[in-house]
Structure 1
Amino acid sequence: MNSELLRVGLIGYGFAGQTFHAPLIAGVPGLVLAAVASRDAAKVKADFPDAQVDADPYALLQRPELDLVVIASPNDSHHPLARAALAAGRHVVVDKPFTLTLAQARELEALAAQRGRLLSVFHNRRWDGDFLTLRALLAAGTLGRVVHVESRFDRYRPQVRARWRETAQPGAGLWFDLAPHLLDQALQLFGTPRAMRVDRAALRDAAQADDWFCARLRYQRLEVTLSASTLAAAPGPRFVVHGTAGSWVKHGLDAQEDALKSGARPAWPHGPDWGRDGGRSVVTRAVGEALVDEPLPLQPGRYGDYYAGIRDALRGTAPNPVPPDQAVAVMALLGAGLG
């Protein structure tokens, strides 16, 4: 597979499939979106007229020409579809959350190893520009020893919408939707916490699933608070980081999701305007007896790096960008938060 075109089959053409996976796959040289499993063929053909469309996802798995299958269907279907794809000999990418339970995640990890297939999970928020900026800031030691981190996704969506993510079905709710991103980022930065406490609630009128959560992760001499809300008309900062040598505060969400929702199709490598984040980013440090605010430029976001990494991993020239053991670690914390 060193130079040949890799043919990708995408299962699901709802929000995740249409907004994130399809345009990112199509934008990476060496990958082609060859087939899509969807009950709405016209919707797929309007965007990708050359893609084959199967109404049945299991029919797509039998297409011999596919090298990789991407699963972007509802959360409760991730495990059975990924298991079937691996059994069919396909390499597999699964949208987050990996599965509904830790046991399911471990089963898929073992099956992929047994079949010698690549298995990866789409933790795309590792390539948010503000998260990349934070990783660099911590690596440089600018804030000294970090003692407190707040990371949140605040949105204002007071109306419960008619979509599976907001029903009472397994895998629905904000904890399964956004906590995988926040937990994965915390694990990437700080490793496994010594303890975790999670509060979840359904706060909106007519809410059927949790639409607010707060998770508190405790490390040695470090506290990390992860939260998300659908009723934050005045959102708090995306990141607040305090250390022994200063603080960093960043406002606003990464711009890539909104760009993709608006119909942008990013080419990889990304150009200079892709992923540019205009949010306020300030480092505060002591200079003599005074505290001084210094703007910190934000790195651009790079979602395309994930699928470029998948391509290179399949060609044998790079590691899996999100190996299954890292996704299993996220599932361990996600499952613990349901208790």
Structure 2
Amino acid sequence: MSKNFLIGTYTKKYSKGIYKFTLDSNDNGSFEKRFKLHNPTYIDIKNNFLISSHGDSNSGGVVLFSLKNDSLIPLDKAEDFNCPPCFVEIYKDYVLSCNYHQGLFILYKITSDYSLQKLNSISIENGKLHCCRVYKDKLYIVDLNNSSLNVYSFPNLKPITKINLEKKSKPRHLDFKDNFVYLITEGTYELFQIDIDTLYISNSIKPLNFNNDLEGAAIHIYDNFIYTSERKTNTFSVFKILENNSLKHIQNFSYKKINSPRDFILDSDKLFSCNLKSDSISIFSLKNGIIDKFSNEIPIPEPICIKKYKNKTCPN
């Protein structure tokens, strides 16, 4: 049975927008342009909706699509930024978006007629916001420039606390499992484990023994394993969450054809990596949580973000 993915891209060189990537049972893949859009660098798919960033150096915002019968149908768009947001996500009937250059978070509601209603915003002084996600009634905003994790109640956006890291750490993305937030930094390529009740850091690990600046990129959790990507050394790191919730670093993996891995996805014991500078999606097999071997590479221009989807009927 084939699997379907949608790819968000830069459109600085060859890409024209959002691409569909189809994989057969032998890991052979093909791609095609799905929707022409300027700089859809981050996308999210939930409840048969797709949200995408879009824009240029003068304006930017989000576009809401229905994902119907394998087609993307535009429903609404909002342009409230001076340039494209770097992160978007659908949470229930909300859309979260944050803008790196403006230090601005905007919350939208998906209304009953499938339009986007702006509800609220948060502006952080000198902020460079790289990720915004909701987990267990708390909003977490990752501020790379101020090296902090800002926590708010959700959906009323009342400040709860700010977790400060070392200035050079530059936090970038996060994921959740059970009672913990897992945060990856860009500057130091460090994994932090944060208790969601106490909001204190309970553990941290640096998987690469480098003194110079690094470029940590993405983080995803699959079963009891945490996977992170680093785009300067072209490395994936794997950590295991043990029974007592402590962390064990178990692997660093690199492959000669990877060049600047950004986002990735884990599905059915495979890892799919978006390699920006090599214009490709690399596929690797997993074995007992470890990245085992290279399987295939599919050429896709300027890939940044990858999401899996299933063909099904959704709102008109």
Query: What's the TM-score bracket when you normalise by the shorter of the two chains?
Result: 0.3 to 0.5
| Structure with greater helix share of residues | 1
| Structure with greater strand share of residues | 2
Q: Structure 1-normalised TM-score? A: 0.33
Q: Structure 2-normalised TM-score? A: 0.35
State the structure with bigger RCO (CA 8 A, min sep 6), 1 or 2: 1
